[in-house]
A = this chain, B = another copy of it.
Amino acid sequence: MATIDVVCIGNAIVDILTRTDDDFVTQNGIIKGAMNLIDAERAELLYERMPPAIEMSGGSAGNTAAGVASFGGRAAFIGKVAADHLGRVFAHDIRAQGVSFDSHPLENDAPTARSMIMVTPDSERSMNTYLGACVELGPEDIETSKITEAKLVYFEGYLWDPPRAKEAIRLAAKLAHDHKREVAMTLSDPFCVDRYRDEFLELMRTGTVDIVFANEDEIKSLYQTDDLESALEQGISDCKLLIVTRSEKGAVVLSKSERVSVPAIEIEELTDTTGAGDLFAAGFLYGYTNGRTLKDSAHLGALAAGIVIQQIGPRPQVSLKIAAQTAGLI
């Protein structure tokens, strides 16, 4: 009997968000719209240069866990913070959202990870992530009971960046499958796909991963094609369920036997795209693990994504449960 809907595994990150113009992004050599990995020294330099900022808990899979909980789902998170101020902030925020989080913080080593996020006038976010304590995530951090008690394990492709997290994921996936649970991943970022294409394809083709979330750029990058249809076809031949988000064009969900599309929700004002993909995954997974159809699950994903891009920051500041009830989706 599952007591958790979704257990999310990812880099535990606090976001440092600010607005800049495009020149700031260009002049500082930041790849726009991407997750740029940086070291401690560059983190200091960029922080010194960046405008006043807002700190809020983030991290891709952490945002998804928070989203599932905001829908009223039962979510858990596994990720590595340090025993420092930002680590306490991360732990407070995710627990206060109702997510179960018991990972041991790292003592006397690298600090909690932070991502400096520049939001440009077009509302696109460019991330600059110093992984800090996240590089210590390993198989010893996988809480067996959380994996076996969850209907589904979800992890971020970004976990291929730190050295030992992939071992943690392989262990979690094996545990999950041994207990007849499903495993889902997000491809995270087109550049991340570029770094780990062969490994991601291997995860899919060996059945280590059952369900794949991607946006258009990521799925095209995975199959190194400019043709979305071709990427979708190849994608669903390599996994059991493929969910591809397409920004204002909505999303498409493919199973071996079915293909459904949903539109994006109408929004009043695009504010900040940070967390859009994470929250789509949250809505979809909340629906999927609670017996909804693929189409209804995708509508929940579109709702959550549409809400988070109308606010600053990657975690919903309103109750997604109430929003979904108001929209007649649950």
Contact = CB atoms under 8 A, between A and B. Distances in A.
A54 B54 contact: yes
Contacts of A96: 50-53
What copy number does this chain have within its complex? 2
Interface of A: 19, 47-48, 50-57, 66, 84-86, 89, 92-94, 96-97, 312-313, 315, 317
Nearest to A311: B312
Centre residue among A55, A56, A96 by max chain B CB count within 10 A: A55
Contacts of A93: 52-53
A47 B84 CA distance: 15
Given A96-B50, A312-B312, A55 B19 contact: no
Given A47-B92, A84-B85, A55 B52 contact: no
Contacts of A47: 92
Contacts of A97: 51-52
Contacts of A317: 19, 312
A56 B57 contact: no
B19 A89 contact: no
Contacts of A57: 52
A310 to B, nearest CB: 12
Contact of A85 (B52, B53, B86): B86
A312 B89 CA distance: 19
Task: Output the residue of A50, A52, A89 with the most chain B CB within 10 A.
Answer: A52
A315 B97 CA distance: 26
Contacts of A84: 85
25 contacts: A19-B317, A47-B92, A48-B92, A50-B96, A51-B96, A51-B97, A52-B92, A52-B93, A52-B94, A52-B96, A52-B97, A52-B315, A53-B56, A53-B89, A53-B96, A54-B54, A54-B56, A54-B313, A55-B55, A55-B56, A84-B85, A85-B85, A85-B86, A312-B312, A312-B317
A210 to B, nearest CB: 30
Contact of A52 (B50, B51, B66): B66
A111 to B, nearest CB: 9
A229 B54 CA distance: 41
Nearest to A315: B52
Contacts of A50: 96
Closest 7 A-B residue pairs measured CB to CB?
A55-B55, A85-B85, A52-B93, A54-B56, A52-B96, A52-B97, A51-B96
